[in-house]
Structure formats: C-alpha cells, structure tokens
Structure 1
Amino acid sequence: MRKVEGIVRATELLRAWAEDLAAWRIPESILSGVTESPWVLPDEVFARRADRYLAAPCGPSYERAMEALGPGGSVLDIGAGAGAASLPLASRTTGLTAVDSHQPLLDDLVRRAVPLGLTPVVVCGTWPEAAPKVPEADVVLCHHVIYNVADLAPFIAALTGHARRRVVAEITVRHPLADLNPYWKQFHGLDRPEGPTAEQVIEILQALGLQVKAEHWARPEMAEYDSFATLVDVTRRRLCLPPERRDDVAAALSNAGVTEECPPDLGSSGRELVTLWWPGSSTTSS
C-alpha cells in the first residue's frame, strides 16, 4: 500500500510541475506582434560565467562534485553551456562528456577545455533523448536545466542511471523567469506565474525514491553582460517588445535598481540557488 501511495504522490507532483511550467507560455496575442524570438539564449552570459568560475571555483555545487570525484573520475555535464559547471573540475576529471542543445556553446567549451588538458566528447542534443549516445560517468552534472523540463521523471531517471557515484544539480530557488514578472505587468498588464519552485523539485526527487540532499546558497553579484545596453536589448526581446521600446525598458530597469556597472542577466539564473545531490544508480565499471 505504501508503494502505491508513493506512486500516486509522485504522479500528482509531476503533473503539478508540468502544469506550472505550461503556465509560462506567452499568449499568442503577444507573440504574434513581434518578429524576434523571446526565448533568447544569451551566449555571452554563459561565456562570462564559465570564465569567472574557472578563475575562482567555489560554491556548494562545485564542492559536492569535487567531493564525489575524489582523486579522480569521469564527468558527464548535461546542459553544459560553455563549461561553467564542469571545467572547474578539470584537475580531477579523467574524462568529460558535455551535452547541450546549442552547438556554439559546446564549441566554446572545447576551446576552454583544451588548455586544461581535457579533450571533451560533445553531443549536441537534448536530454534524455541524447542519453543513449553518451557514456555513463562517475559524476553527472545538471546546472540550470530542470526548469526547462516538463516531463521530469524520465529526465531524472536518465541522470541517475548515467551516474556511478553522484548526480549534482543546481537550480534557482524559484523559476528564473520570475525576475521578469514585474516588467510583464508593467508593459503588458499580464500576471505571470510564480511557480514552480526548487521545493517542488525536492519533493519530486523524494517521491521518486531518491535520497536527495539540498543546500541553499546565494551567488555573489556579477556583471553578466559587458554593457547595460546589451542587457536592455535581451530583456526587451524576452518581453516581446519592439526595438523602439528600448528606452522604455532601460528606464524600467534603472527604476528597479538595476545598475549599469553590474548588469545581471534577468531570466537565466538568479542569485538565490539550491544545490541538489543524490547517489547515482549505474553499476558499470569506470
């Protein structure tokens, strides 16, 4: 009976998660008025973050991964971007596989990896669709991807099944696009969702029978764009506003306290974070 109740609980949590993510769809009446995609992939943010973390590795996600690698081990990085999660582990990495849906970011990762003595295997694709194409690893990383995944159960199962020692995931406390909610209200009169949240992820992992641990922490402020103008343009596109509204967006950001000296990325990954880790289930040898 307890097992059945657990399955029912997991099903309910997974359904709520998918519904919460579906609520983030932008109304067609707004989308139809613009020619630029609002789903901007800010390569500059990922590149700057990778460079900063390589220069000064820190934080619970880094620590939990290094702990699991011990004297050495292989790494699989899902949603690898430019390598911010995996490349700081280079001193203990015996082999690196990186999966991302954006090939230019994978090319960027390879360029950074070579001077570190690594020759990564890169796979351009999504997870878990790419799972059959990649080897299992001692440590599996997944940073800032989970909020993009509506069907979470197979995604988590593939992460766990590919890890021999540990899965380390990093997510924001709340949906990263929630930082833009006040601006959606200001410019479109639209109330945007607040969920899902990191607590829901933890509940889902527990309901799936995983022995998950969590640590809340805050990332120090950093300039994620080289100019305030770039932040304004990215934010404008995310808000489905035409180029002639650029000055309005700049004024809104300034009024909200966003500084030109340290322009953050709104809608990628916030400062309030949670590191999650749990044992892998792979029994293959290294």
Structure 2
Amino acid sequence: MLATERWRHMVEVEHAQSDELRGAVPPPTDHWRPYADQFRADPRRSGDDLVDHLLEFVGRDDTVMDVGAGGGRLGLPIALKCRSLVAVEPSESMAAVLTEQAQESGIENVSVVQEQWQDAVVDPVDVVLCAHVLYTIRDIGEFLKKLEYNARKTVLVVVHDAPPQSQIYALWKEVHGKERLALPSLPQLREVLDELEISYQVDLMPPQPARGFDTLEQATTQLSRRLYLTDGSPEAVRLERILPGLLTEDEGVFRIKDSQPLRPALVSWHPTHAP
C-alpha cells in the first residue's frame, strides 16, 4: 500500500468509528464552536518556542498564508512581522475569534478566506503555513501539492508526533470497551513526503502538556463530546462514575493521569518550483 493510501485508510476507518458511535446524530456544522474561545492567544506574547521558530522563516516583506488558521494563534504573531497575512479558515466560529483578536490587537494586514482549503481560490504567497490541519485530510497528496503550488519560497507544516486526541485514547477502552483507531501524524507524514519525493526538514519543538480542564464538570462535558456520548447513556453514566479517578489535579488544572505530552514538529521545505 502506498503511503498516501495508508494515510487515507487511517482517516477513513477513524471517521467510520466516529460515525458508528455518533449514530444517527449528524456531525455539527461547525465542530469548533464549543472550543473556539480556547484558541485565543496574545499575538504579542513571548516565550512561545513554536512561534519564535516560525518567525525565523518569515521576512518583513514576505506575504504569508495560514491554511486552517483557527483563531489566529500562530498567524497573528506572524502578521505582526510580515507584509500581509491571508488566513484560510472554514470554521465560522474560529474565523470570528481570529477577526476579533486582530481588531483588538490593532493588526490590519490580515484578510480572511472562509473556505475549505480544497475549495479556496487564492493567489500565491511567499510562505504558506499549515498547522495541525492534516490529520483528517483524506486526499493528503493533493492537499500538500496545493500548499506547495501556492508557496513561492517556503512551506511550513506543523503536526504533532502522535495523533492530537491520543491523550484520551485510554478513555475509549474504559468507556466504549474498544481501542480508538488512530489518525495519522508525523510518522505517516514523513512517509507521504518521501513518497512525493519532497525534500524536507523536521524540527521538533518542546513537548506540550495537555491543556487540561478547569473543573471536573468541564472535563466531563468536553470528554463526553470527544467520546461521542449521549446524555444518560450507559457510556455517559460510566464516564461520570470513573472520571474522578482518572484525573489528576495540579494547580487547579485537571488532566488525565499518565497522558503523554504531545510534541509539535515543524516540517519545512522549499517548493520544487522555487527559485
């Protein structure tokens, strides 16, 4: 099986498992609406290793595109340095957070394209960034090729070294009695890039602990969504019963015991058509 085919297979079987547990309830039109406010971050913050490293690839006169920009956590700090930033973000709630953050921070060189990347009509820029988007993309080859086609100088892709929801995989066994099927992440991306004959560099960033939860009630609510639980179902009752024993509290933040920190990787390359 080709690397691109393995990638598609992993995405499709993971989605099929989610659909099975979701049942007849359709997926939300905007998955990120309950979480969008969590992606707010001060564009002028310091001490963010990933932001600092990304800025090393961006010049004052560069134009930049952030594909899957979310709430602007990475794109807005870059906009403070570059000539202009195009933020491609399909989620209405995420795009709203990004726009509000830009306005509040006095950042005026940002334009938003509220479309899926595959459908977006955009002009090429100097640097294309795509952070934490690839995990659920079925046609990974075409997605990456479009990133490269629209970058004159550099493509920057950020992915974790493990699936983004892997920190709650242990709960799947506890609640559903079955293993969670994994989405692709950095190891599979390396295989795809090798298959596409793209010469790339990988820079591993410091590990990031789980964001955690402010209260036990918040943990129950958010984890119920991620586990596709229906209120009052036997699985929801089981989660509520066992969750206190599966969490640890540190300085007012609740995290899942023994969950391993995720380590972001910055994967960069120069497009084959670049001068």
TM (norm. structure 2) is 0.83
In structure 1, the gaps of 5 or more residues are 1-10
Question: d(CA) in 1 for partners of 2:195 and 2:158?
Answer: 19
Contact 1:78 1:141 in 2 (8 A): yes
Contact 2:156 2:269 in 1 (8 A): yes
Question: d(CA) in 2 for partners of 1:141 and 1:217?
Answer: 16
Question: d(CA) in 2 for partners of 1:180 and 1:236?
Answer: 11
Partner of 2:270: 279
Instruction: Quote the offset at 1:259 in angstroms.
Output: 3.0
Contact 2:164 2:262 in 1 (8 A): no
Which residue identity does 2:146 align to in structure 1? A
Deviations 1:189-224 (A, max 9, x none): 122224533111012112212221112233444746
Which residue identity does 1:95 align to in structure 2? S
Change (3 A) 1:78 1:233: same
Aligned: 1:243 with 2:231? yes
Deviations 1:10-62 (A, max 9, x none): x7111111111122122665332x747489834464433431564235224x2
RMSD of aligned Cα (Å): 2.9
In structure 2, the gaps of 5 or more residues are none
Aligned: 1:82 with 2:71? yes
May I ask how many residue pairs the two structures share in their alignment?
266
Question: d(CA) in 2 for partners of 1:49 and 1:170?
Answer: 16
Q: 226-235 or 88-97: which moved more?
A: 226-235
Structure with the higher helix share, 1 or 2? 1
Question: d(CA) in 2 for partners of 1:42 and 1:201?
Answer: 24
Aligned: 1:120 with 2:120? no
TM (norm. structure 1) is 0.80
Q: Percent identity?
A: 21
More RCO (CA 8 Å, sep 6+): 1
Change (3 A) 1:246 1:191: closer
Question: d(CA) in 1 for partners of 2:215 and 2:247?
Answer: 16
Instruction: Quote the offset at 1:256 in angstroms.
Output: 2.7
Change (3 A) 1:59 1:135: same
Question: d(CA) in 2 for partners of 1:271 and 1:28?
Answer: 26
Instruction: Quote the offset at 1:247 in angstroms.
Output: 6.2
